[in-house]
Amino acid sequence: MLKQLTAKDFAVLRIPLESGRQSPNSLGGILFLGCFLQWLLYYITYFRAASYTTYPHVDKIHDYHFMITLVITVLSLLFCIPFVYKKYDQYQYMLSIVVSQNLFGLFPYLCGMFFIGEGPNATTKMMITFTYISLTIAIVLFIATSVRFYILLKKGKYREGSTRGIIQSKVEATSYLPFAIIGGLGLFYILQYMIKSGALASFEHFIMTLLFLLIFYAMIFVLPEQLVILYCKFRFKSFTFSERGYLYSEEENKTYNVT
């Protein structure tokens, strides 16, 4: 679907690259810091939040997530090396998406699920049901934001142009707000029901679970834009950096086939 669009249709998405916030050098520092943050959240998730949970298959989740986090850490350390990230900045950006989703998506989600399992009346069936509901909300949110993002691209809201066009595209992005409100209210009433039924240990657990899940949904919300920028990095030379650390200009643009 995106093959019909040119680099100019994605021009607004180059702004974080032009500003240097998402340059290979900046991402290298972020990935290095992320190595420590991931293991801190790993400790909080599995040795604090999961200490008294009855959430099903915690040990298996722990084992798989340990291996995933270990692999991510090794790759992060590899892509901190200038020689590596200067040659493969597309893959460095891909890794940065995985790191951010693991840090602020998967870890908070699991913390929220484990808190639910600490309630005195929490049952395996109830927790599995809530897991399905929460993941369904995530899938719906991802599809809705992806479709809306595609419509904005087709309408030229991210096209190269004046500052007015950039501001307009940001204003249009606020139309995602209804999806966030609906998802948030849905979660609120579901969690409220679980407190009344004794599935959550306390009101504090309710607040923490709600907060963790909202962070998780916020990461789902930004994921489509992350993936589109990644697509642009593989398709357009103007979204990549030279080995000297300079972003290629649009005049030097070259298009690659991305299937």
Domain with 160, as residue range(s), is 2-252
In this prediction, residues 167-172 reach a mean pLDDT of 48
Class of residue 1 by CB neighbours under 10 A (exposed 0-12, middle 13-18, buried 19+): exposed
pTM: 0.87
Q: Which residue has the tokens 């306390």?
A: 202
Structural domain contains residue 200? yes
Structural domain contains residue 258? no
- Give the Cα separation of 198 and 186 in Å (integer): 19
pLDDT tens digits, residue range 62-78? 999 999 999 999 999 99
Q: Is the pLDDT of residue 89 over 70?
A: yes
Number of domains forming the structure of the chain: 1
pLDDT tens digits, residue range 201-232? 677 777 888 889 889 999 999 999 999 999 99
Amino acid 181: pLDDT:
67
What are 67's two structure tokens? 């291996």
pLDDT tens digits, residue range 173-195? 455 566 666 666 767 766 666 66
Structural domain contains residue 259? no
Contact 7, 238 (CB under 8 A): yes
Average pLDDT, rounded, for the chain: 85
Structural domain contains residue 82? yes
Amino acid 123: pLDDT:
82
In this prediction, residues 118-136 reach a mean pLDDT of 84
Residue type, 63: D
